[in-house]
Amino acid sequence: MNAVSVLFRREMRLAMRQSADSVMVIAFFVIAVVLFPFGVGPEPNMLARIGPGVIWVAALLAAMLSMDRMFMGDYEDGSLELLVLSPVALEFVVLVKVLAHWLTTGLPLIVTAPLLFVMMNVPTEIWPVLLMTLLLGTPVLSLLGSVGAALVLGARRGGVLLSLLVLPLLIPVLIFAVGSGDAVLYGTGAKANLMLLGGVLLGSLALTPWAAAQALREAVA
Amino acid sequence: MLHYFANPTRFQRLSRRIEPWLLVAMILCFAFGLYFALFSSPVDYQQGHTVRIMYIHVPAAWMALFCYTAMAVAAAVAMIWKHALADVAAKATAPIGAVFTFLALVTGSLWGKPMWGTWWVWDARLTSVLVLFFLYLGYMALRDAFDEPGRGARASAILVLVGFVNVPIIKFSVDWWNTLHQPSSVLRMDGPTIHPDMLTPLFLMAAAFQLYYFWLVLVRIRRELMANRTRALRHRQAAA
Amino acid sequence: MAVFSGHNIDCVRGERQVLSGATFSLESGAALVLRGANGSGKSTLLRLMAGLMRPVAGAITWDGEDIADDPHEHNRRIAYIGHADAVKPALSVTENVSFWSELSGAGGMRATEALTALGIGHLADLPARYLSAGQRRRVTLTRMLTSGAPLWLLDEPTTALDQDTSDALRGLIDRHLASGGMAVISTHTDLGLASSGLLTLGAAS
């Protein structure tokens, strides 16, 4: 456990010293959402209708943008080989990386989201549930993203490829998350959606570290 | 037994012997299937002649799922037992599956125009098939993205397994999201609800597609094995 | 006394046979120097010894046990220095060094001692992005000292090092061997170690 915390501290320290990366992700998130009123017109009801979906899609894309860096630095400078050889089980290395990725991208996305709710005229009664979906959903992005990021190490056009691999797998997250907001508006309650989202989170938590670790072993072999 | 046929040379000899039979069986199934489908099956009282698209659309959609399952099984075998042949089978299956998926999408869209009045409807099943098509594309792109073929093979094996676990979740979520499509009418617990005269051509076409798959996959595996041998010879040339 | 050996190792890299029938054995206190032309499989053999790759045929054993049987145990035994430096430019030299030593949690030298031993003690607080190639290499080499591992696997350790540092490195390896350690070193230049075997790898047929 001590080794895990050593690794976590190193990841966070690296992320803090390269905090421009996180800022860029947030900037992309905001700009992507802000483009929509220009594209579809500024009519408030229309924006309110599409707001949650647009914000979620933008969050997906923003998370993708930062994903390929999760292991890339360590792969290129040889650290990844040493992490594979370290006494920490590779699955835990993946989990630590995922946690660090979530803290530096997922969490800032959640913090920024209310600003975009205001700009997209999202009804205030669904704010809590939307924030809840982001809280449950963004860790899934980091988890599934870790598998994609590990798979494309050493590949040509890794970044674009990563999106092609991971985005289809994230469709359920998008559906359940945006569905929660609609469910509240229709008065059916978002409990089922949130439970499903939680289930997806638990499932990915159990399975993705294994797949990512396997992919990392292949990457350094 | 698996080990016995996993030997590439033995496999090639065996597959060369089976291929002509598969080809003949496939042509027969296609001939009868198409005859029944196009001429000798009843016209749907609601859909008219457009119902005949079903005889391509439904088997193609079945094959789309079948090929993905076959790929996942082959990938698992390749990963666990390190069978080179299983890996080649996965590679050979991917484009076939992608083409079936594409065919299912196109025929679904053609069917949609007269039925729903528009080329594309975001109905649950069509959408699931679309996502499946993306999974195929991702697999082929990843497989192709490495300079070292072995690395692409192992990475894409992991991907197809992760995708396979996800397929039911995607299917479920898309159903949840939208159910416009007519309910499933063949694979039901209480037996098929469509006219038996429609079932004959449907199953004949399904058999034809299946035979087509097996024939093509054998040919592709054989071609792939020969390409491997050529590459090995080239490497030996470079080393000498 | 531990024995680290490999017998009839074949390895295929990509689709090329890199090693065929490589055999070696070394005991505590001994070093093995790998020589051979580029592409003769020196790096590959070291990666096999580290357990990063598995041989296609043959086995690598520690005291008779295949290293693949218990990779975690083997990880504890080795300090692997590859081609890449694994130095993070955003971290200071000390942060770089102590990360790997704390991660392995083993009782080798302390970070400051190791830096001094390699003659870069004065750089401890400098961010690693300011280091020259030779200095970065020395930061990398501290890992073998801090790990406390009995088996050092060094891939071209003298790359980018000047003569003085190469001599210091030889001294450190000799001391490691004298205290019962082992080392496998691939190199183009003659290190002149006190006691070492030689394995020359030819192009695989």
Per-residue pLDDT of chain A (221 residues; tens, 9 = 90+): 688 999 999 999 999 888 888 899 999 999 999 999 999 988 999 999 899 999 999 999 999 988 988 999 999 999 999 999 988 899 999 999 999 999 999 999 999 999 999 999 999 989 999 999 999 999 999 999 999 999 999 888 888 899 999 999 999 999 999 888 888 888 777 888 899 999 999 999 999 999 999 999 999 88
Closest CA to A90 of A107, A67, A106, A71: A71
Sign of CA pseudo-dihedral B133, B139, B145, B147: negative
Top residue of A68, A164, A178 to mutate, by most chain B CBs within 10 Å, is A164
Residues from A contacting C (CB-CB < 8 Å) are 2-3, 6-7, 10, 13-14, 17-18, 73, 76-79, 81-82, 84-89, 220-221
SS3 label, residue A11 = helix
Q: Rounded CA gap, A200 and A172, in Å? A: 8
Which pLDDT value is given to residue A170? 93
Identify the chains in contact with B, defined as 3+ C-beta pairs within 8 A: A, C
Retrieve residue C184's tokens: 């496998």
Judging contacts by C-beta atoms under 8 Å, the chain A residues touching residue C84 are 76-79, 81
Report the predicted TM-score, pTM, of the whole model to 2 decimal places: 0.88
pLDDT attached to residue C19? 85
Q: What is the mean pLDDT of residues C173-183?
A: 91
Per-residue confidence (pLDDT) for residue C20, from 0 to 100: 84
Average pLDDT over residues B109-114: 84
Strand (E) positions, chain C?
3-13, 16-27, 31-35, 57-62, 65-66, 78-81, 151-155, 182-186, 196-200
- Which of C15, C20, C44, C52 to substitute to test the interface with B, most B CBs within 10 Å? C15
For residues C142 and C150, the answer to whether their CB atoms sit within 8 Å is: no
What confidence score (pLDDT) does residue C204 get?
45
Kindly state the average pLDDT of the residues C67-80.
89
List of chain B residues whose C-beta atoms are within 8 Å of the C-beta of residue C204? 239
Q: B182 pLDDT exceeds 50?
A: no
Taking CB atoms and an 8 Å limit, are A77 and C86 in contact across chains?
yes
Mean pLDDT, residues B230-239 = 79
With a cut of 70, say whether residue B221 has pLDDT above it: yes
Q: Is C100 part of the contact surface with chain A (CB cutoff 8 Å)? A: yes
Calpha distance C13→B147 (Å, rounded): 12
Residue B207 has pLDDT above 60, yes or no: yes
Q: What's the confidence (pLDDT) of residue B196? A: 74
In this structure, are residues A70 and A97 in contact, taking their beta carbons and an 8 Å threshold? yes
pLDDT at B179 over 60: no
What is the mean pLDDT of the segment spanning B6-18? Answer: 82
Provide CB contacts within 8 A for B84, sequence distance 6+: B6, B8, B78
Please answer whether residues B188 and B52 qualify as being in contact, where contact means their C-beta atoms are separated by less than 8 angstroms. Answer: no
pLDDT confidence tier of residue B5, bands split at 50, 70 and 90: low
List residues in chain B touching C: CB distance below 8 A.
148-150, 228, 231-232, 235, 239
Quote the mean pLDDT of chain B: 84
Show the tokens assigned to A164.
């092609």
Q: Tell me whether residues C15 and B231 touch, CB distance under 8 A.
A: yes
Tell me how far apart the alpha carbons of residues B221 and B96 are, in angstroms, rounded to a whole number.
12
The interface pTM score, or ipTM, of the predicted complex is 0.89
Distance CA A92, CA A138 (A): 19
Q: Where are the domains of chain B?
A: 56-183+194-234
Q: Find, among C3, C21, C29, the residue nearest to C204 by Cα.
A: C21
Domain ranges of chain C: 3-200
| Max avg pLDDT among B23-27, B45-49, C157-161 | B23-27
Least Cα separation, residue C76 to chain A (angstroms): 7
Q: Strand pairing of C57-62 and C31-35?
A: unpaired
Does the pLDDT of residue B4 top 70, yes or no? no
State the pLDDT confidence band at B40, using cuts at 50, 70 and 90: confident
Minimal-distance CA residue of chain B relative to C40:
B239
Residue C194 confidence class, pLDDT cut points 50, 70, 90: low
Is residue B72 over pLDDT 90?
Answer: yes
Q: For residue C34, is pLDDT > 50?
A: yes
Q: Which of C83, C85, C103 sits opposite A86 (nearest CB)?
A: C103
Q: What is the pLDDT of residue A113?
A: 95
Domain that holds residue A47: 2-220
pLDDT at C205: 38
Cα nearest neighbour of A221 on chain C: C53
Note the pLDDT of residue C195. Answer: 65
Q: How far from each other are the two terminal CA atoms of chain C, in whole angstroms?
A: 35
B70: pLDDT strictly greater than 90 = yes
pLDDT, position B236: 76
Of the candidates A155, A164, A175, which has its C-beta nearest B137's C-beta? A164
Total number of domains constituting chain A: 1
pLDDT digits (tens, 9 = 90+) for A52-72: 999 999 999 999 988 988 999
Q: What pLDDT shows up at residue A105?
A: 93
Q: Which of C14, C17, C203 sits opposite B148 (nearest CB)?
A: C14
Question: Which residues, numbered 6 to 65 in chain C, qualify as contacts with chain B under a Cβ-Cβ cut-off of 8 Å?
Answer: 14-17
SS3 C96: helix
**Shortest Cα distance, chain A CAs vs residue B190, angstroms:** 29
Six token digits for residue A215: 């992919």
Q: What is the architecture of the domain spanning C3-200?
A: 3-Layer(aba) Sandwich (3.40)
- Rounded Cα–Cα distance for residues B64 and B129 (Å): 8
